[in-house]
Amino acid sequence: MSRNDAAPGTVPAPPGRIRRLLSLLYVQCLIGVLAGAAVGWLWPSFGADLKPLGDGFIALVRMMIAPIIFCTVVHGIASMGNARAVGRVSLKALIYFEVLTTVAMVIGLVVVNVVRPGSGLHVDPSTLSTEGLPPEATQSHESVAAFVLSMIPDTLPSALTGHEILPVLLVSVLFGFGLNAAGEAGRGITESVEKLSKVLFTLIRWIMKLAPIGAFGSMAFTIGNYGLDTLRHLFLLVGSFWLTALFFVLVVLGTVMRVNGLRLLPFLRYIKEELLIVLGTSSSEPVLPRMMAKLQHAGASRPVVGITLPAGYSFNLDGTAIYLTMGSVFLAQALGVDLSLTQQLSMLAVMLLTSKGAAGVTGSGFIALAATLSAVPHVPVAALALIFGIDRFMSEARALTSVVGNGVATLAVAKWEGQLDEKRARAVLSGEIPYTSSPEAARTPEPRAGHTPQADHASGAKPEETESLASGAQSEDVQAADPKAAARSDRDPVPTAG
């Protein structure tokens, strides 16, 4: 019997099946995460030394974020023709962000008061010290006015050389409006920006091939440097935080998706590669460019994605919101400080500001918690030493929750604006129209076929504004009734930013 003959009663495996499986990015990232955890556990000192692998990957992606946001937002706004539509999208996004952030904080507040993970520790405040905490945790934090002013860069180019998203977003919106107002003079620049975005997404596609290495290095450092033993003492806090974040994602975000005619689990499967990268690197920044491309591929218009998703990275930190309430009340319980409901609600109001003020800072969740404690007199900042060792094990949950929350927010805002191709979204999330990182494979849709002014009116959008909001996107009609036609359409080489 030849080597290719199958034994009786067995089914031979398709040739190259393992090779095809290993070629998938999410499989490579999963292997990197597991291998990194094993190395950090077996050889802690060696694992801790692998931190530059993760830092290098994050730095590579971070250098691409500002120009990608700039090109996406500028091209979308410059092609619109109506400034009111941008203002409406921004207002709806900010309202959504504040509502969901508040819901996340309230859920965290309820859970930490029911579970009470800090009760029984009886920590003496006099034994606490800020020594060993990162400098950002102990320095004075900026006021609301300083935070608003920090969004304005020193010069227009300097916004693209920094690491904060809000100045980039501000400059991009202004530049897009400028090109729009310039008319014929700005049209050539708009086309050049579109071409530049294709080059940038090609570079991102190359950089993402290093994601498994970055996830391996970051996970090896986390386990090797902090160790799994630290989890035993504070397991109740870490476990309850992860379960609370999971509850928020499945119940709250799942409900938002249902209300907008979509389902959460197919969306999670659609972004599984991004979630594994976030899990490995403990950072949501590396997946921002791919999330923008994937949401456009799923049927959301480019202007809505370009405005909502980057803004969400500063204003819609759902995971950080849960962490702030649970972390602050846990520390109070550990110190034996009995916080009244009024005191807890006042802390929640402060957190609505501090969660934004620390955006863009490395380890923003921990820094935001420090800013909260410094703004209220109930718990000393030195108490952060109690959870500093386990903060890294909660940062993954913070980042994962925030990434999913921002993706859901973008689809929701696009639906409310009438700028979501729902048929295409369902087809993409179900796998009928697979995503590929090739720039020629995905399309950014215009309003759906059959999109009527009545539908715009029902969604709260004025017909002329809705048409202008998507006029810069490439057209795409999903032929859901004819899968073959949809497949042919998906194979057509059409330029896109994704």
- Which pLDDT tens digit goes with each residue over 24-82? 777 888 888 888 888 988 888 888 888 888 888 888 888 887 888 888 778 777 766 56
pLDDT tens-digit profile of 150-181? Answer: 778 888 788 877 767 778 878 888 888 888 77
Q: What is the mean pLDDT of residues 208-223?
A: 84
Residue with tokens 């491309």: 293
| Threshold 0.75, pTM exceeds | no
Q: Under 8 Å CB-to-CB from 137, ≥6 apart: which residues?
A: 130, 366, 367, 370, 381, 384
> Is residue 248 pLDDT above 90, yes or no?
yes
pLDDT tens for 461-494 read: 443 444 444 444 433 343 333 444 444 343 333 3
What are the structure tokens assigned to 87, written together?
Answer: 């203002």
Residues 253-265, mean pLDDT to the nearest whole number: 93
**Residue 255: which pLDDT band, with cuts at 50, 70 and 90?**
very high
pLDDT one-digit tens code per residue, 440-451: 444 444 434 334
**Tokens 């649970």, residue located:** 326
188 SS3 class: helix
Torsion of CA 131, 136, 140, 142, to 10 degrees: -170
453 vs 395: which has the higher pLDDT: 395
Q: Does the pLDDT value for residue 405 go beyond 90?
A: yes
Q: What is the pLDDT of residues 306-350, one digit of tens each?
A: 888 888 887 888 888 898 888 888 888 888 878 778 888 887 877
Question: Can you tell me the distance from the alpha carbon of 328 to that of 344, in angstroms, rounded to the nearest whole number?
Answer: 9
C-alpha–C-alpha distance, residues 192 and 75, integer Å: 9
- SS3 category, 436: coil
**Residue 265: what pLDDT?**
94
> Across all residues in the chain, what is the average pLDDT?
75
- Give me 392's structure tokens: 């890294």
215-221-224 Cα angle (round to 5): 130
Cα–Cα distance measured from residue 290 to residue 282, given in angstroms and rounded to the nearest whole number: 16
pLDDT above 60 for 238: yes
Identify the pLDDT of residue 259: 93
Write down how long the chain is: 498
Q: Give the contacts of 78 (CB within 8 A, at least 6 positions apart).
A: 176, 179, 180, 186, 189, 190, 193, 472
- Helix, strand, coil % in the chain, rounded to nearest 5: 70, 0, 30
Q: What pLDDT digit, counting tens, does each position of 181-197 carry?
A: 777 777 788 888 888 88
